[in-house]
Chains A and B, each alone.
Chain A
Amino acid sequence: MKASPLGYLDAAGVRAQHILPLTWFTLCVSLAVCVVIALLLWIAVRRKRIPYGVDIANVSIESGGDGLRWITVGLFVSAVPLTATLVWTMLVLAAVAGPPANPAFVLDITARQWWWDVHYSGAQAADAFETANEIHIPVGKPVLVRLHAADVIHSFWVPKLTGKTDVIPGQTNQSWMQTDKPGRYLGQCSEFCGYQHAHMQFEVVAQTSAEFSAWEAAQRQPAAMPATAAAVRGLEVVQFRCASCHAIRGISAGAVSAPDLTHLMSRSTLAAGTLPNTRGNLEGIIQTPQDAKPASLMPNQHLSARQLTDVLAYMETLQ
């Protein structure tokens, strides 16, 4: 169970940890009920069954027996775990529903077909930055997440940290996360949102305070100017081909419809968790994104081999 990155029977975040014991309780009650019923059924069928081959008309009709007692006892026994679940549910709901009183900061996440737009506000306007598909949080502090929808309904879910919250156009839903364990936690969109709903993942990276501050500081920097000739040529192609959708802070600005690429190389995956961030995958996702993510909104680029090499040279500077 621990091995499944989207499994939630091992919890790492505060919210998920509150929910987990109740989940186990209801699961165990459910299993017990199934076993008991199966047993009762098995015994009931076997104990006075008519041997095979006897004509049913020869088996006399009877009635009587305290059948009603079965129902009343069954109901009373059932009522116990039901009531316990009801009460426990209300307690957990009260504990996890509301947003935390003192969040470390607020994340504004906009879900789009088929990626996650993450906005860090910072203390001042100049500290704000945008990234995509990879969220970093410091351990030990709650983080409030405001969820904005840009197109259709999506759902924000990091199984090991928090339950699902839908992202719905026209309203701003809230979620929150807090964990004490540094690590990488996988999230996936959990409301059908079109062709590439299956490939709309994200990662939440919980870091120590120091690591988080360092990451934040790095993210705040605009993109470095390219140094090598290939990278310069690559930037030209990127500005011409990519900037209308992708923003790269310091180089091209304004575009919002595709993931911010300013620090693309700092992320561990590409295309919303679809592929690990390696050179080969990067090349593939630039040239033929329709292979890995058919019907996604980025068209195949048909770059020449030279252009592709240059673009990669530039992209690899976006650390």
Chain B
Amino acid sequence: MKAPDYRTPRIGINSIEHQDKLLRLWKTTPGIKGFFTTTDHKEIGIRYIVTAFIFLGLGGVEALVMRIQLAGPNLSLLTPEQYNQLFSTHGMTMIFLYASPILSGFSNYLWPLLLGSRDMAFPRLNALSYWIYVASGIFLYAGFASGNGPNDGWFNYVPYASKAFNPGLNEDFYALGMVFLGISVTVGAANFIVTAFRTRAPGMSLNRLPILVWGTLTASVANLIVVPAVSLAFFLLWMDRQFGTHFFDTSAGGQALLWQHLFWIFGHPWVYAIVLPAMGMVSDGLPVFCRRPLVGYSLVALSTVATMILGFGVWVHHMFATGLPGLGLAFFSGASIAITIPSAVAVFAWIATIWLGRPVITTAFLFFSSMILLFVIGGVSGFMTASVPVDWQLTDTYFVVAHLHYVLIGINVFPVVGAAYFWFPKVTGRLLDERLGRWNFWTMFVGFNLAFMPMHLTGLLGMPRRVYTYNAYPGWGMLNLLISVGSFVFAIGVSIFLVNVAKSLRVGARTTQNPWDAPTLEWSVPSPPPPYNFAVIPTVASRHPLWESRLGENAALSTVDRGMLLDSGKETIATSALDAAPDMILEMPQDSFAPLVLTAALSVLFVGLLLKTWSVVALGAVLSAAGVLMWLWPRRALREREPATEAARG
């Protein structure tokens, strides 16, 4: 019996039988098999978050060891080689293995709930992006653990990264590991883009999207376009190192600056990709605690996109000292100054939201609001370096180290911790302890500023970056000691956060569905949400579905209790790109081994490349091809195939 090609979805209200039916259709296979085959975005999101925090811890320990070495002049706790591997691995870990995956994790968990959908557009691809992240993280750390960690900074300039100066496996681990990780980022980006445009709740037009969605979507489009640049750069480096090509070596027509261009064409958009989603979390969370909608929603959404678009055009500001012609320098300097404008839009929108609202000072609020100040501090130091001649003094000193930590910790870590306090009740059904939260916040805030504010000074006093030791010039020793102490205080603050999480998971106060009385769709489902998220598909009529009656927004109200039931199978609704009109019933895949198997096959491939064992490479390639083939094999249940004969009849 041919299943119908078209169907009018049944409309109804929730019921116990309906929920049971959906639960049977959607819940993950129990036990160890389910652990490896799940495609539930919530489980994948939590894994991303946990794994990212593990890397945050590793990167943090690396930093603390460095800070002990730098606590005083001319110390010799570490050899230069150890220090170089530490600062390089620290940068790689934080920027690639923490800062982006943590935001992927939150986005993965939250997006379908924010969008009124039952999962991401490509659930198996979602699982794949996580497994590859873990596998490439292990690959990269295998290098570090075996004494072959990257040792040329996270930015990895040639010629120092080339074989002549770096003969060991360090750079090969880094290069191949990054290409591997790039696959995870790319498929994750594709998933977010298609989900944003095609699987939203009916009525959730683009101007009703939560800013977190705008942020991650913008970051994903950027990543899709620029990750190939860095993957290519690392691949070409590996070719130069292992096959005697000459992309970067000047002895035969290569250019050292080609590496820098390719790297920074990626690198600059990347740093916006690791803050824009976090800014989105602030834009969505802060207004809840100000008891009012975000000021200037449209401007904030547009400024998110504008920041990223401008972000494609500033990469040369990482190369101001490389001897480029003046006209180019002038252009990129102007663009780098201009890019502060869309950021300023967000800052003023947030301040206005607080000013015009009535703040309820929870721990989440403290993190979201303090972030604004840290953002501005990081932003102005960036503004200073945007001016080429000033940058000629500031670049490669600790001033830039201060800048990058204010923007990365201020615009990524602080919002992330705030987001944890905000969404923890949704994920677990319990609240994080507020008293511990105050200790958490103040220790982190004081420790962070103690650690990184003095770096502006050491930078202005001329202390260069990436040095394993320094002389006892006036002020340097005292400031560095202060920085080292501050870094430990900051680490204690982060630890308090982890303690709070561990404690609250067990004994945290249980909470209702919507403890913060927040406006968006995720707060309309139970805490924690059932596997299928929404028993009935909501219809959205505004940006604040759960606040509508109180905001006096007239016209039809959003409905969350009555809507499409979509319980004929494992299905959700697909909608049009701009206005989110329903246009397809999307059949969703069952749990699958394919993502894990493909990850294992790719791991074999990359290990073979690292060891230059071509039989292993061939094996990995064949297994990967087979894995992809099985994955994409057209399935009846997903309506990907039907015999021509049936079609002729039907």
- Chain A positions within 8 Å of B, measured between CB atoms, are 1, 3-9, 16, 18-19, 22-23, 26-27, 29-30, 33-34, 37-38, 40-41, 43-45, 47-50, 52, 54, 56-57, 59-65, 67-68, 70-71, 73-75, 78-79, 82, 85-86, 88-90, 92-94, 96-98, 151-153, 155, 157, 159, 162-166, 168-171, 173-174, 188-198, 294-295
Contacts and interface: CB of A to CB of B under 8 A. Distances in A.
Contact of A50 (B80, B330, B361, B389): B361
A5 B462 contact: yes
B159 to A, nearest CB: 5
Interface in B587-630: none
A67 to B, nearest CB: 3
Given A19-B393, A48-B359, A89-B387, A195 B354 contact: no
B277 to A, nearest CB: 21
A142 B525 CA distance: 72
Contacts of A195: 80-81, 84
Contact of B347 (A37, A52, A193): A37
B341 A82 contact: yes
Nearest to A194: B160
A152 B256 CA distance: 9
Given A23-B390, A166-B323, A57 B517 contact: yes
A22 to B, nearest CB: 6
B476 A192 contact: no
Given A34-B376, A62-B357, A191-B396, A74 B390 contact: no
B224 interface: no
Contacts of B80: 195-196, 198, 294-295
Contact of B393 (A63, A93, A159, A192): A159
Interface string B333-363: 1100110110011011101111111111110
Given A60-B291, A165-B321, A4 B461 contact: yes
B10 interface: no
B635 interface: no
B307 to A, nearest CB: 14
B124 to A, nearest CB: 39
Given A30-B381, A155-B321, A56 B296 contact: no
A166 B153 contact: no
Interface in B464-483: 464-470, 473-476
Contacts of A85: 337, 383, 386-387
B344 A75 contact: yes
B462 A89 contact: no
B292 A61 contact: yes
Contact of A7 (B84, B381, B460, B517): B460
A7 B461 contact: yes
B290 to A, nearest CB: 9
A71 B461 contact: no
B324 to A, nearest CB: 10
A34 B460 contact: no
Contacts of A97: 326, 329
B547 A61 contact: yes
A82 B160 CA distance: 37
B463 interface: yes
Contacts of A193: 160
A32 to B, nearest CB: 9
A74 B348 contact: yes
Contacts of B356: 64-65, 67
A85 to B, nearest CB: 6
Contacts of A159: 393, 462
B340 A82 contact: yes
A271 B501 CA distance: 52
Contacts of B384: 23, 26-27, 30
B518 to A, nearest CB: 9
A74 B334 CA distance: 20
Determine which residue in A60, A68, A168, A173 has the highest number of CB atoms from chain B within 10 A of its CB, and name it. Answer: A168
B255 interface: yes
A198 B465 CA distance: 9
Contacts of B381: 30
B373 interface: yes
B36 interface: no
Given A8-B393, A8-B462, A169 B256 contact: yes
Contact of B79 (A168, A171, A295): A295
Nearest to B326: A97
A196 B469 CA distance: 10
B551 interface: yes
A42 to B, nearest CB: 9
Given A26-B384, A62-B357, A4 B322 contact: no
Contacts of B470: 198
Contact of A26 (B345, B383, B392, B476): B383
B160 A67 contact: no
Contacts of A23: 384, 390, 393-394
Nearest to B338: A82
Contacts of B461: 1, 4, 6-7
Interface string B624-642: 0000000000000000000
Interface string B392-434: 1111110000000000000000000000000000000000000
Contacts of B337: 82, 85-86, 89
B79 A48 contact: no
Contacts of A61: 291-292, 517, 519, 547, 550-551
Given A86-B337, A169-B250, 10 more contacts: A41-B369, A57-B517, A82-B338, A89-B333, A93-B329, A152-B159, A159-B462, A166-B322, A190-B321, A198-B80
| Interchain residue pairs A-B with the least CB separation, the first 10 | A163-B392, A6-B462, A170-B250, A67-B295, A70-B352, A30-B380, A74-B348, A198-B467, A173-B323, A65-B356
B323 A165 contact: yes
B477 to A, nearest CB: 12
Nearest to A192: B466
Determine which residue in A98, A152, A189 has the highest number of CB atoms from chain B within 10 A of its CB, and name it. Answer: A152
B293 A4 contact: no
Given A78-B344, A85-B337, A71 B299 contact: yes
Nearest to B80: A195
B388 interface: yes
B387 A56 contact: no
A254 B586 CA distance: 76
A30 B403 CA distance: 12
A93 B329 CA distance: 9
B157 interface: yes
B160 A192 contact: yes
A190 B340 CA distance: 27
Contact of A168 (B256, B360, B361, B468): B256
A68 B296 contact: yes
A71 B301 CA distance: 13
Given A50-B360, A61-B547, A166-B321, A37 B376 contact: yes
A71 B383 contact: no
A95 to B, nearest CB: 9
A157 B383 CA distance: 22
Contact of B160 (A47, A57, A62, A153): A153
A157 B462 CA distance: 10
B380 A34 contact: yes
A47 B357 CA distance: 10
A3 B474 contact: yes
Nearest to A88: B387
Contacts of B326: 93-94, 97-98
Contact of B159 (A26, A29, A43, A151): A151
Contacts of A88: 387
B298 to A, nearest CB: 10
B184 to A, nearest CB: 28
A19 B369 contact: no
Contacts of B515: 56
B464 A59 contact: no
Contacts of A90: 330, 333
B239 interface: no
A75 B390 contact: no
Contacts of A43: 355
